Amino acid sequence: MSTLKTAAQFFALRTLVRGYALMGDPYAGVMASPAHRDPYAMYEKVRAKGDMVRSRMGAYVTPSREICDSVLRDNRFVTATFDEASMVPITLVKDGEKIVNPVQDSFLMKNPPDHTRLRKLVQPFFTPRALKDRTASIQKIVTDHLDRLGDRFDVVSEFASQVPIQVIADLLGVPDENKDLFARWGSSLAETLDGVWSHQQLKDLHATIIEYNDFIDVLIDERRRNPQDDIVSHLVQEHHDLSREDLVATTGLLLFAGFETTVNLISNGVLKAFENPHTIAPLSQSPEYAEGFVEEVLRLDPPVQYTIRWPKERLELAGVSLPKGMPVMLMLAAANRDPRVFDNPLVFDPTRSNAREHLAFSAGIHYCIGAGLSRIEGTLALHELFKRFPNLAADGPVTRRKSKLIRGALRLPVRAGETERSLAVN
């Protein structure tokens, strides 16, 4: 496709979605409004319109926890790749061969039976037993990174992103010297989860995917020759029949799904602590309180704000007749504030007894495989950070990510010694 044609398509798509967003359309509002600083007010406007709100863009939007949960568990609904779902195709072909896209070719975007087959291959690395064995090494990663921090630092780049990338690199078997490269690809891929909105973004995505494909090919060869105790070695040694496409996509999925999400859990947690200073002492003193704290961050300010499902046949949902293929946007972040499930849903309460009913990790067959791992990472990171720096305070404005799907901070400058906490978000 010519550059001019794709650029024109992107321009048309952006203009259309922004136009609808300005008219108050809920689907366009979530995808494109500048409300990323605080999308929650907009979600409440959607809630006020009902449980199934029709978008003029040919979709439904639901903020209801019950409906989100039932759609996620209903096998009449499926996921779709960007190419199937978006108006601009983003598949990359090089020298006549398809280049594997770790987002859209992965099992996150597949349906049974392929989804079941591929998920099962990596499941053993995420069992409670496997996570228990990994906890001491995560604790060490957290402590080592805390040791490197000075009196003033950026929480996101110097701590929140360092811990998950080290954890995921160890899990996959990526050598330490490639960690930064890996982190850059993870961020770049995660940005495209929102959809691709410009020709430049498409070009950057393609460059990332090609680099990632080249890198992982080398790692796969190396682990074939010299297996270690990691996921890539396990896949190449135990599953000889696995295609290269499935191998590259599965490892890439773990990288991008496990990285940016957990970074944002940690930075959203720091922000919640600053906004609720009474939580800092118990957070730093009690690991049990820290677990509840993380659960409540996941509920009130989740790193993944929504997901989408498509009915594979005509069906009835909450009194609405949905034609085959009509997208339903499941507003996970709004569902987590559903007043029919959570008392005083806007209050941040780390001791809330049913916080775990949130949908931050989705539900059904695509329920986050890394939920347990990120709970451990988030709990240790936040507990140890405030234990080490009990007077941690904001040190300048917070910059938010532009993404609507992934919510978190891009920069969160802090100083270790201050006692007065003030917060400005731009």
**What's the closest the beta carbon of residue 73 comes to ligand HEM, in angstroms?**
11
**What's the closest the beta carbon of residue 168 comes to ligand HEM, in angstroms?**
6
Interaction of residue 307 with ligand HEM, rule CB under 6 A: yes
* CB-count exposure of residue 357 (10 Å: 0-12, 13-18, 19+): middle
Query: How far is residue 27's CA from residue 360's CA, in Å, rounded to a whole number?
Result: 19
First-last CA distance in the chain:
38
**Residues 115-134, mask of contacts with ligand HEM (x by CB under 6 A):** ----x---------------
**What's the closest the beta carbon of residue 308 comes to ligand HEM, in angstroms?**
7
Query: How far is residue 268's CA from residue 293's CA, in Å, rounded to a whole number?
Result: 11
Neighbouring residues of 176: CB distance < 8 A, sequence distance ≥ 6: 169
Interaction of residue 328 with ligand HEM, rule CB under 6 A: no
**Residues 346-365, mask of contacts with ligand HEM (x by CB under 6 A):** --------------xxx---
Tell me the residue nearest to ligand HEM as measured from the CB. Answer: 370
**What's the closest the beta carbon of residue 3 comes to ligand HEM, in angstroms?**
31
Interaction of residue 232 with ligand HEM, rule CB under 6 A: no
Task: For ligand HEM, give the closer residue by CB, 199 or 249.
Answer: 249
Interaction of residue 366 with ligand HEM, rule CB under 6 A: yes
For residues 233 and 124, is the Cβ–Cβ distance under 8 A? no
Q: 101: number of CA atoms within 13 Å, CB side?
A: 26
Rule CB under 6 A: which of 172-201 touch ligand HEM? none
**What's the closest the beta carbon of residue 251 comes to ligand HEM, in angstroms?**
10
Of 174, 231, 368, 412, which lies in the binding site for ligand HEM, with binding defined by CB under 6 A?
A: 368
For residues 175 and 165, is the Cβ–Cβ distance under 8 A? no
Interaction of residue 326 with ligand HEM, rule CB under 6 A: no
Residue bearing tokens 């969160």: 412
Task: For ligand HEM, give the closer residue by CB, 29 or 370.
Answer: 370
* Helix segments in 276-340, DSSP class H: 280-285, 287-300, 332-335
* CB-count exposure of residue 415 (10 Å: 0-12, 13-18, 19+): middle
Give the tokens for residue 217: 């090919």
**What's the closest the beta carbon of residue 265 comes to ligand HEM, in angstroms?**
4
Task: For ligand HEM, give the closer residue by CB, 160 or 360.
Answer: 360
Interaction of residue 405 with ligand HEM, rule CB under 6 A: no
Query: How far is residue 262's CA from residue 264's CA, in Å, rounded to a whole number?
Result: 5
Interaction of residue 374 with ligand HEM, rule CB under 6 A: yes
For residues 419 and 393, is the Cβ–Cβ distance under 8 A? yes
Of 6, 261, 279, 284, which lies in the binding site for ligand HEM, with binding defined by CB under 6 A?
A: 261
**What's the closest the beta carbon of residue 333 comes to ligand HEM, in angstroms?**
10
Task: For ligand HEM, give the closer residue by CB, 300 or 304.
Answer: 304
Query: How far is residue 281's CA from residue 283's CA, in Å, rounded to a whole number?
Result: 5
Task: For ligand HEM, give the closer residue by CB, 188 or 262.
Answer: 262
Rule CB under 6 A: which of 139-168 touch ligand HEM? 168
Q: Give buried/exposed letters for 12-28 (b at 16+ CB in 10 A, else e).
A: ebeeebeebbeeebbbb
Give the tokens for residue 319: 């009194």
Interaction of residue 336 with ligand HEM, rule CB under 6 A: no
For residues 58 and 327, is the Cβ–Cβ distance under 8 A? yes
Query: How far is residue 46's CA from residue 24's CA, in Å, rounded to a whole number?
Result: 9
Task: For ligand HEM, give the closer residue by CB, 6 or 273.
Answer: 273
Rule CB under 6 A: which of 81-110 touch ligand HEM? 107-108
Q: Listing from the earlier edge strand, what are the strands of the sheet with 307-311?
A: 53-55, 59-62, 328-330, 307-311, 77-78
In this chain, which stretch among 4-12, 173-181, 213-221, 255-263 interacts with ligand HEM, using CB under 6 A? 255-263
Interaction of residue 303 with ligand HEM, rule CB under 6 A: yes
* Size of residue set near ligand HEM by CB under 6 A: 24
DSSP 101-145: -TTTTSGGG--TTHHHHHHHHHGGGGSHHHHHHHHHHHHHHHHHH
Task: For ligand HEM, give the closer residue by CB, 302 or 350.
Answer: 302
Interaction of residue 404 with ligand HEM, rule CB under 6 A: no
Binding site residues, ligand HEM, CB under 6 A: 107-108, 119, 168, 253-254, 257-258, 261-262, 265, 302-304, 307, 360-362, 366, 368-370, 373-374
